[in-house]
Amino acid sequence: MAIAFVFPGQGSQKVGMCRALAEAFPESRQVFESADAAVGFPLSGMCFEGPEDALTLTTNTQPAILAASVAAYRALAARGARADWVAGHSLGEWSALVAAGTVDLGEAVRAVRKRGQFMQEAVPVGEGAMAAILGLDGPAVSAACDQARSERAGRVVSPANLNAPGQVVIAGHADAVARAGEIAKAGGAKRVIPLPVSAPFHCALMRPAEDRLAPLLRGLAVQDPQFPIVANVDALPKRLGAEAVEALIRQVSSPVRWEDVVTRLIAEGVQTFVELGPGTVLAGLIKKIDRRVSVISVGAPGDLDALEAVQGASP
């Protein structure tokens, strides 16, 4: 049985995240110190002490979650745990690349800060929106988006996160997202929940951000990953550094196919998933996709007790 390390995306941040890891383990502390040096200000202080409104700014959130996730990974790796596969949800795919040795931590921290800036600047505040559609399958949500676009010519709305059965997030222009939500509700969705986000991620409105980010990412020094990365854009393994980076570029304006990523990992023999970083969002999604697999979340020193379970899952 194989093990996959998986990394959370934006929305999992919270003040105090992974502080106890940094206090307990030098390898985790070094990650935060490297992140501070890379951005030129005490990002670690923002992670550990807030203020929350600063931490939730996209340009801060993205490098903060990356640092926290890699801090958790380094603590686990230093104690002998090793992945067969890695993957990350949206921003979390950056953490996966750092864990796999494809991109240097400092370069990744600087790049995701730019990523956050470019995504925030792609759409004026208030023009875009995202909403979670619960209780409706992917094709039905896509159909609702198609209808909303046909009613509102020139407006954008599309599935952005295909997270799990009956859980799809849509993104686009605020009016089109609202209309697609109404159509989905009329079509049987249990709930439509507007999300408190600063921009409509993973849709066509992010193409300006993707275009700005592409030359920056293609200029990074990359190595081939030490273990394969299953990418969000196509749920296919990336075994070369260059193709992993290209997947990151395309990811900015493409939907996150998380259900397909998890399904692919299970098809490759993964029976144990280890979520590394703040929160337990991915653990919940993975269990919705397949209840037969084991999921362990590691974000604090006490969670490292799960190491024996992780190692015991390997043949």
Q: The domain spanning residue 153 has which CATH number? A: 3.30.70.250
- Residue 159 and residue 246 in one domain: no
- Residue 20 and residue 89 in one domain: yes
The whole-number pLDDT of residue 102 equals 98
For residue 108 the two structure tokens come to 């990744």
The whole-number pLDDT of residue 311 equals 59
The tens digit of pLDDT for each residue in 131-172 reads 999 999 999 999 999 999 999 999 999 999 999 999 999 999
90 counts as catalytic: yes
Identify the active-site residue in 12, 28, 44, 90: 90
The tens digit of pLDDT for each residue in 245-264 reads 999 999 999 999 999 999 99
Closest by CA position to 305, among listed 29, 17, 79, 27 = 79
How would residue 312 be classed by pLDDT, with cut points 50, 70 and 90?
low
Q: Are 252 and 213 in contact (CB under 8 A)?
A: yes
Distance CA 63, CA 41 (A): 12
- Residue 160 and residue 76 in one domain: no
- Residue 8 and residue 87 in one domain: yes
User: Is the peptide bond between 51 and the residue preceding it cis, with omega within 30 degrees of 0?
Assistant: yes
Distance CA 297, CA 277 (A): 8
Domain count, the chain: 2
Residue 168, beta-bridge partner list? 133, 162
Q: What is this structure's pTM?
A: 0.95
Judged against a pLDDT cut of 70, whether residue 70 lies above it is answered with: yes
Domain region containing 229: 2-122+205-312
The tens digit of pLDDT for each residue in 100-116 reads 999 999 999 999 999 99
- Residue 20 and residue 58 in one domain: yes
Show the CA angle centred on residue 123, arms to residues 58 and 128, nearest 5°: 90
How would residue 6 be classed by pLDDT, with cut points 50, 70 and 90?
very high
The tens digit of pLDDT for each residue in 9-33 reads 998 999 999 999 999 999 999 999 9
β-strand pairing of 157-164 with 229-230: unpaired
Closest by CA position to 62, among listed 135, 111, 134, 22 = 111
Q: Pick the last residue of a domain from 151, 176, 197.
A: 197
Q: Span 72-98, mean pLDDT?
A: 95
CA quadruple 269, 275, 281, 283: dihedral positive or negative? positive
Q: Pick the last residue of a domain from 197, 219, 241.
A: 197
Closest by CA position to 103, among listed 19, 154, 34, 170 = 34
Distance CA 285, CA 290 (A): 9
Q: Pick the last residue of a domain from 197, 221, 248.
A: 197
- Residue 114 and residue 151 in one domain: no
Q: How many CA atoms, within 13 angstroms, populate the side-chain half-sphere of residue 312?
A: 7
202 counts as catalytic: yes
Closest by CA position to 169, among listed 134, 196, 198, 131 = 131
Identify the active-site residue in 69, 95, 198, 202: 202
- Residue 111 and residue 230 in one domain: yes
- What CATH number does the domain containing 271 carry? 3.40.366.10
- Residue 93 and residue 221 in one domain: yes
Sheet holding 128-134, edge to edge: 157-164, 167-173, 128-134, 191-194
Closest by CA position to 252, among listed 216, 201, 286, 301 = 201
Q: Are 307 and 76 in contact (CB under 8 A)?
A: yes
DSSP letter, residue 256? B
Strands (E), the chain: 2-7, 85-88, 128-134, 157-164, 167-173, 191-194, 229-230, 237-238, 270-276, 294-298
- Residue 96 and residue 144 in one domain: no
- Residue 227 and residue 111 in one domain: yes
For residue 68 the two structure tokens come to 């926290």
- Residue 139 and residue 260 in one domain: no
DSSP letter, residue 199? S
- Residue 23 and residue 54 in one domain: yes
Neighbours of 24 (CB within 10 A): 14
CA quadruple 159, 252, 3, 304: dihedral positive or negative? negative
